[in-house]
Amino acid sequence: GAGVSQSPSNKVTEKGKDVELRCDPISGHTALYWYRQSLGQGLEFLIYFQGNSAPDKSGLPSDRFSAERTGGSVSTLTIQRTQQEDSAVYLCASSSDRGAYNEQFFGPGTRLTVL
Amino acid sequence: SQELEQSPQSLIVQEGKNLTINCTSSKTLYGLYWYKQKYGEGLIFLMMLQKGGEEKSHEKITAKLDEKKQQSSLHITASQPSHAGIYLCGADDLKLVFGQGTRLTINP
């Protein structure tokens, strides 16, 4: 079946521009996560959605970052006024539920380069 | 918050050799994931361990969680070029946390 998909796969933008990254989770998965991986660093949690609950935004690095999830399915991560330090691979994952024992399925990621 | 430390950070082995990657947690692990990452393919789930002393195998990859549930090891037997990639351990501590990854290169 279809896995988690993300678009675009690559995005090059100029400093100061806004970007939108899209994630299509696995159908029926109620939990959706955004992570990013910067060069030389491990994965960093950004934000988590679970059903209709308020999202856990504790990982967002600044107020330039925001995310929404429409209709409990597709999610968009928006970065406003991009900075060079925002360059990273942004990964989306979904799982059937929240918790330590529910496998997260990851998308291929969006590689963001801010010039 | 929980922190995961992986070692080594980078590993180069000859094809056919065995290797081990370690993941050490600052807190007791209640769910430990191993993932493999190849560029453009996202993270691939390998195994999940929950119980102290648990060991799981898939093809030539074996993962163990120690009795104290603070350390896990990933062992690859008779490595092949297809094993090359970045291996990540992850744990659930309110949110998923990951180690910094181990970059594995297999030389023919």
Interface of A with B in 26-55 (CB under 8 A): 33, 35, 40-43, 45, 48
Nearest to B59 by CA among B80, B38, B88, B32: B80
pLDDT for A108:
85
pLDDT tens digits for B75-90? 999 999 999 988 999 8
Run of H or E including A49: strand A43-50
Contact status, residue B71 vs residue B23, Cβ threshold 8 Å? yes
Q: Buried b / exposed e across B32-53, counting CB within 10 Å, b at 16+?
A: bbbbbbeeeebbeebbbbeeee
Encoded tokens for A73: 């399915």
Mean pLDDT over the full length of chain B: 88
* CA–CA gap between residue B88 and residue A42 (Å, rounded): 8
Least confident among A106-115, B36-45, B49-58, B98-107: B36-45
* CA–CA gap between residue B61 and residue B10 (Å, rounded): 18
pLDDT tens digits for A12-28? 999 999 999 999 999 98
| Chain A CB within 8 Å of residue B48 CB | yes
∠A54-A98-A34 over CA atoms, to 5°? Answer: 65
Of B33, B50, B95, the CB nearest to A59: B95
Mean pLDDT over the full length of chain A: 88
Q: What confidence category does residue B45 fall into, taking pLDDT thresholds of 50, 70 and 90?
A: confident
Contact status, residue B43 vs residue B96, Cβ threshold 8 Å? no
A33 to chain B, closest Cα gap in Å: 9
Encoded tokens for B9: 């950070």
Q: Is 80 exceeded by the pLDDT of residue B58?
A: yes
Q: Buried b / exposed e across B3-26, counting CB within 10 Å, b at 16+?
A: ebebeeeebebeeeeebebbbbbe
Map residue A11 onto helix, strand or coil.
Answer: strand
pLDDT for A98:
55
| Chain B CB within 8 Å of residue A23 CB | no
Residues in Cβ contact with B23 at an 8 Å cutoff, skipping those fewer than 6 apart: B4, B5, B6, B32, B34, B71, B72, B73, B74, B89, B99
